Amino acid sequence: MKEEKGLKEEKDMKGDKGMEEEKKQERKKVILSGIQPTGIFTLGNYIGAIRNWGTMQEEYHCAYFVADLHSLTVRQEPAALRRQSLEAFALLLACGIDPEKSLVFIQSHVHSHAELSWILSCYSPFGALSRMTQFKDKSARHADNVNAGLFTYPALMAADILLYQPDYVPVGEDQRQHLEFTRDIVEHFNGIYGNVFRMPEAYIPKTGARVMSLQDPTKKMSKSDTNPNAFITILDEPNVIVNKFRRAVTDSETEVCFREGKDGINNLMTIYSVITGLSFEQIEKDFAGRGYGDFKAEVGDAVAEKLRPIRENFARLMQDKAYLEQQYRKGAEKAAAISERTLAKVKKKVGLLMP
Ligand code: TYM
């Protein structure tokens, strides 16, 4: 009773609008992101995206998924894709995503993704899709298989995102364009049908949003690189990590400093800074007069040490397939319930007769 009166007084003071505003501010923000299961995640995936996912779950409602449908845009070996999807799910948990705190699932287990993707593809301008850098890159790399899925990929990604009405989407720099595309769809769709989708924002880290190849530091580090020395996977053994860093391409100078034109060193400094938490100034000070050899060895050691618990967690999780299955089934069930609400709203808005 007393509480009710207190609430009424508060309402009188602030008015309905003020209370609503406050309630809105109190709403826990929603985070969503995904990753393709096309191989063991790289240090780039970890630094650009996943390392933030675990920390965000303490403060927000988070949803993370294995984007297996996206992987079909490039031809996959079926048994390998199945294995990699399970490994990717285990890797997310090994990186600290806790299924008790976050929603974790596998994209193809939740029908609404493919369904909303079709609807959104009917609102995706051909011109915008053809300007997508990833489409241009991938169709050049896989010229024998330029398929419709590769082209409409951003509509599926928009569906993945919008089904869960997130506030932020934590991704690396290479996904910025897809996020912009999603935002354009929201504007277009909401412009026609009213406030159906929440406008999502990309959350791109200031440092490490684009980790570069260790062999060609003008190119993004990628798990599909044909040269295994170009990337670190988060399951590489410590000696492998140290050796890959030792072989990392740098320049003909000797000074460890972050400067335009020193792509290799800039990349190593970025990695080292994210992994250790040290600023660039501190790193420059610490390595003044010590040369690249020393620096590369320390970057290798620091990365190997950081990834050690992930490797150990992963090995443990893969021993217990029943647990993994139980978790991804639970995730799919929850994801279906959330996403179907948005899907039903969309279907109604666009004029589909409800069953
Ligand atoms: P994917 O699987 O290529 O990469 C997963 C995440 O890792 C980031 N990343 C990098 N960050 C820094 N440096 C790098 N070298 C590097 N390489 C990859 C990516 O930016 C990404 O955040 N289309 C997405 C998967 C996806 C998705 C979504 C993401 C599908 N639906 C909805 C967010 C929301 C992809 O292929 O990411």
CATH number at residue 258: 1.10.240.10
Domain CATH number, residue 100:
3.40.50.620
Contacts of 138 (CB under 8 A, 6+ apart): 73, 74, 150
Q: Is there an atom of ligand 1 within 6 Å of 150 CB?
A: no
For residue 341, what pLDDT is reported?
A: 98
Instruction: Give yes or no for residue 273 having a pLDDT over 60.
Output: yes
Instruction: Give yes or no for residue 291 having a pLDDT over 60.
Output: yes
For residue 26, what pLDDT is reported?
A: 73
For residue 27, what pLDDT is reported?
A: 87
Å from CA of 50 to ligand 1 middle? 9
Q: Is there an atom of ligand 1 within 6 Å of 54 CB?
A: no
Residues 128 and 41 in one domain: yes
> What range defines the domain where residue 276 resides?
228-317
What whole-number percentage of the chain has pLDDT above 70? 93
Q: Is there an atom of ligand 1 within 6 Å of 163 CB?
A: no
Å from CA of 69 to ligand 1 middle? 14
DSSP 124: S
Q: Is residue 163 part of a domain?
A: yes
Instruction: Give yes or no for residue 326 having a pLDDT over 70.
Output: yes
Q: How far is CA 227 from the centre of its chain?
A: 23
Q: Is residue 220 part of a domain?
A: no
- pTM for the predicted model, two decimal places: 0.92
Residues 71 and 192 in one domain: yes
Instruction: Give yes or no for residue 123 having a pLDDT over 90.
Output: yes
b/e for 31-40, b at 16 or more Cβ within 10 A?
bbbbbbbbbb
Q: Is residue 243 part of a domain?
A: yes
Residues 185 and 244 in one domain: no
Q: Based on the structure, what is the number of domains in the chain?
A: 2
Residues 234 and 309 in one domain: yes
CA angle 204, 104, 327 (to 5 degrees): 160
Nearest CA among 47, 23, 11, 62 for reference residue 234: 47
Q: Band of the pLDDT at 17, cuts 50, 70, 90?
A: low
Residues 122 and 253 in one domain: no
For residue 13, what pLDDT is reported?
A: 45
Q: How many CA atoms lie within 13 A of 174 on its CB side?
A: 17
pLDDT tens digits along 198-240: 999 999 999 999 999 999 999 999 998 999 999 999 999 999 9
Q: Is residue 17 part of a domain?
A: no
Q: Is residue 303 part of a domain?
A: yes
Residues 64 and 176 in one domain: yes
For residue 221, what pLDDT is reported?
A: 97
Tokens of 41: 């995640």
Averaged confidence pLDDT in the chain: 93
Amino acid letter, 150: L
Comparison of pLDDT for 16 and 209, the residue scoring more: 209
Q: Is residue 217 part of a domain?
A: no
Residues 114 and 250 in one domain: no
Residues 199 and 332 in one domain: yes
Q: Is there an atom of ligand 1 within 6 Å of 107 CB?
A: no
Q: Are strands 61-66 and 30-35 parallel, antiparallel or unpaired?
A: parallel
Q: Is residue 262 part of a domain?
A: yes
Spatial separation of the C-alpha atoms in residues 136 and 129, rounded to whole Å? 10
For residue 24, what pLDDT is reported?
A: 56
Residues 195 and 341 in one domain: yes
Give the residue numbers annotated as catalytic, written as ranges. Answer: 138, 220, 223
Residues 199 and 270 in one domain: no
pLDDT tens digits along 142-195: 899 999 999 999 999 999 999 999 999 999 999 999 999 999 999 999 999 999
Å from CA of 192 to ligand 1 middle? 30
Residues 55 and 191 in one domain: yes
Residues 135 and 201 in one domain: yes
Q: Is there an atom of ligand 1 within 6 Å of 70 CB?
A: yes
Spatial separation of the C-alpha atoms in residues 159 and 161, rounded to whole Å? 5
Q: What share of the chain is helix, strand, coil (3-state, %, to 5)?
A: 60, 5, 30
Å from CA of 316 to ligand 1 middle? 25
Q: Is residue 18 part of a domain?
A: no
For residue 251, what pLDDT is reported?
A: 94
